[in-house]
Chain A
Amino acid sequence: MDQIAEILISAVLVIGGIFGLVGSFGLVKLPDQMTRLHAPTKAATLGVGGVLIASICWFGFFSDQGSWHELLITLFLFLTAPITGLMIAKTNMHLTWRPEELPYPGEDMHWATYGDSAERSLMDAVPEIDRAERDHRE
């Protein structure tokens, strides 16, 4: 029984390690900053995820009491990875892209990064739209 658990845990560890490695390799291999951003935001998630699953299993099998810290780490990882990605993407847009090179943002004037957000922001706009919708329904 112990041996099966050990094999399972090492398998998950190795799979997680492979994804982490591929994510890091992607950083080197992909051609420009924006495509490079894809490798760590995703491949690294599963890489770390594999290690955390292995940790939960190890504590479940070989320790008197389980450990649930790993779930919290996963939660915080899922909360922070997209925000890091967004910040790097925005910096990139300022450094290497001009607004003309990006697709047109539909009915609005600008993408938020380039627009004058001091005048209008999403938080100001939403209650108005909500109110209009509510009036419409009534």
Chain B
Amino acid sequence: MIRRLFPHPYLSAVLVVVWMLLVNRFAWGSLVFAIILSIAIPAMTSPYWPDRARLRHPGKILAYVLLVLRDIITANIQVAMIVLFKPNRLLQPAWITVPLDLRSPEAITVLAGTITLTPGTVSADLSQDGHALLVHCLHAPDPASVIDDIKSRYEARLKEIFE
């Protein structure tokens, strides 16, 4: 019964939180409406999302978000330093291929988003069957270390959360 009512429990929880933040002021009426939305929207969208991702360790999401936030701040400072103080001729931009161990589309999406938000890297494309990510680096004298960094820092953690 509960399973039928909430086919995507995490999506429902996120919807309640987002609705309450949108309203921006606590009222029981809006909470009731948020719960109605959190039942209606997953029910209406579930045909479009047949194989939903299973979260193995949802508790580790918070640790991952904090890690990414910290990396975003350091990334900003690094990129700002490169933009301000590195002459263009010393810049070594590079394309790198990151082979993926992740298989679920949701996990790959999160990884690609994280790569774009963090130090000097933008994810540009996925290989045809989803086995590798194409990443562009702003300044990468040593591309191999960038790949290792992405795999050990983010991919390993996402693998724990999703698979």
Contacts and interface: CB of A to CB of B under 8 A. Distances in A.
Interface of A: 19, 22-23, 25-26, 29-32, 34-35, 37-39, 41-43, 45-46, 49, 65, 67-69, 71-72, 75, 78-79, 81-83, 85-86, 89-90, 92-93, 102-113, 115, 117, 120, 122-123, 125-127, 129-130, 133
Interface stretch (B1-9, B33-41, B96-104): B96-104
Contacts of A82: 112-113, 115-117, 123
Nearest to B98: A106
A78 B113 contact: yes
B80 A19 contact: yes
A69 B23 CA distance: 8
Interface of B: 18, 21-22, 24-25, 51, 72-73, 75-76, 79-80, 83-84, 88, 91, 93, 95-97, 99, 103-105, 108, 112-113, 115-118, 120, 122-132, 134, 136, 138
Contact of B72 (A25, A37, A45): A45
B121 to A, nearest CB: 8
Contacts of B113: 78-79, 82-83
Contacts of A120: 128-129
Contacts of A79: 113
A42 B72 contact: yes
Contacts of B138: 30, 35, 38
Contact of A111 (B76, B84, B108, B127): B127
8 contacts: A23-B80, A38-B138, A41-B122, A43-B79, A86-B122, A86-B125, A126-B51, A133-B103
